[in-house]
Structures are given as structure tokens and as C-alpha cells.
Amino acid sequence: MRAPPASAVAAVERPRLSDHVYSRLLGEIVEGRLAVGERLPSEHELAQQFGVSRPVLREALRRLQGDGVVVSRQGSGNYVQRSPSRRVAALSSNVTLHDILESFELRLALEVLSARRAARHRTPEQLREIERVLLLMRTRLSQGRTPQHSDYDFHRAIAAASGNALLLQVLDFLAERLRGGMNVTLAVRPKGPRAQPNTRVLDEHDRIVHAIRMGDADSAAIAMSYHLDQARQRLLDGQLDL
């Protein structure tokens, strides 16, 4: 059997190497060894440090830039823009932070449409199911517990009320990955004087339900988009460690 060409081997190995470099750089930032506002070493220096090629390094940097952790300034280099909470990194043991952040891009496309359609097409029974799951989430959060799968069930109930079976099927197909990210997001709360129930999270959910209840499709879409954006921002909030 003929060996695969070197280019094919490189294509398989490169994502694996870039994953490793991404994780190492993210760890340096989360642990504070690369502080917010600090300039990263040059691409040449980083490639040598990690023992990888420049294309592999650039792929890892592109992912960090896409996550909003690193920003590239033309003619100056790459800088740390934000540092995720250490607790986020610890909670993300079964699913990487990048995977969670990446899922938000897809969720914005799917769930904003689900909310818009649910406001137009939901039945009284479907609205009651959305409200029931939200009440369960509220109860668990008030008890200081992570709501397990109730956040996913809430978003699933909205997809079910959209009247579009494909939206629900896609959400179910991604269920395991989405649940992991949702549980991490809900488990991260401020410490000290900022520690309090997830009132902002519940308020965001309440706005979505209110718009669906009123049949206001535009407001439902805006409320869902705002909620998902805020959830993503919370994952990147290094102040949660204070």
C-alpha cells in the first residue's frame, strides 16, 4: 500500500497541533502569565517555543482572535484583549472553551429564528411548557444549584414552539454539546460582594418569554440575541475571579 502524500499527513496533523497551541496559549492567558493588554511574543518566537510551523501557530491565533481573547493590531502584533475566568477553564474540562464559544455562533443563527417564529406560531400549550421550564430553572438557581438540563429544555421548548421541525431536529442533534456549554455558563457566578443569584440570566429569559407571550416576533428575536451575546460575554469575564 502506498503511503499517503506528505501534504495529506500535514492536513491531518495540523488541526491537532493547532489545538495544542491554542490550549497552551489560552492557559497562559487564563493563569495571568500573559496579562490583559500585554503584547504576545512574535510569531517567530511563539512558533519556536511550541515547536510548530508558522501556519499552525497562525491557526491557533486565529481561533483566539475569533474568541475575542486576542486582538491583532496591524504593524504592532497580537495583544491579549480579554482573559476568561479561571473557573470557566476549570469547568470546561469535558468541552473546550473554544467549542463553547463556537457553538454560540450557530445558536445565534438557530435560536434567534426559533424565538421569532415561536412568537408567531406558539400554541397555548407550548407557551405553558416554556413557562414551566423557566420556573424550574428559577427554582434551581434560587437554591444555588446549577439547573442541569433545564436551560437546554427551555431553549428546546422555544424551538418546538417555532413550528419548524428542522430547527428542533438540529437542536436535538447538538444537544450533548449545547448542554455542556450551557451548564458551564450557568455555573460561573461572581464571588464576594458581586455574588448573588443569577438575576441577570433570569431577567434575560423573562424578556424572551414575555415577547413570545405577547406575540412580538421582533422583540423575541432581539431578546434572544441579547441573551446569547450576554452569555458569551460572561464566559470571557475574568472579573468573575475577583
Nearest-angstrom CA–CA distance, 47 and 124? 58
Q: For residue 18, how far is the Cα from the chain centroid?
A: 20
Compute the Cα dihedral for 184, 185, 187, 193 and give only its sign. Answer: positive
How would residue 13 be classed by pLDDT, with cut points 50, 70 and 90? very low
DSSP at 148: T
With 60 as the cut, is the pLDDT of residue 205 above it?
Answer: yes
Nearest-angstrom CA–CA distance, 183 and 151? 8
What pairs with residue 71 in β-bridges? 79
Q: Please write the tens of the pLDDT for every residue from 151-193.
A: 999 999 999 999 999 999 999 998 888 887 887 777 765 554 4
pLDDT at position 241 = 44
Q: In terms of DSSP bridges, do strands 77-80 and 70-73 run parallel, antiparallel, or are they unpaired?
A: antiparallel
Q: Please write the tens of the pLDDT for every residue from 75-114.
A: 889 999 888 766 666 655 556 677 787 788 889 999 999 9
Nearest-angstrom CA–CA distance, 207 and 227? 9
How would residue 197 be classed by pLDDT, with cut points 50, 70 and 90? very low
DSSP at 39: B
Q: Please write the tens of the pLDDT for every residue from 139-162.
A: 888 877 766 688 999 999 999 999
Q: What's the whole-number mean pLDDT along residues 218-234?
A: 92
With 80 as the cut, is the pLDDT of residue 236 above it?
Answer: no
Quote the pTM value. 0.73
Sequence-separated (6 or more) residues with CB below 8 Å from residue 79: 37, 38, 39, 40, 70, 71, 72, 73
With 90 as the cut, is the pLDDT of residue 226 above it?
Answer: yes
With 80 as the cut, is the pLDDT of residue 232 above it?
Answer: yes
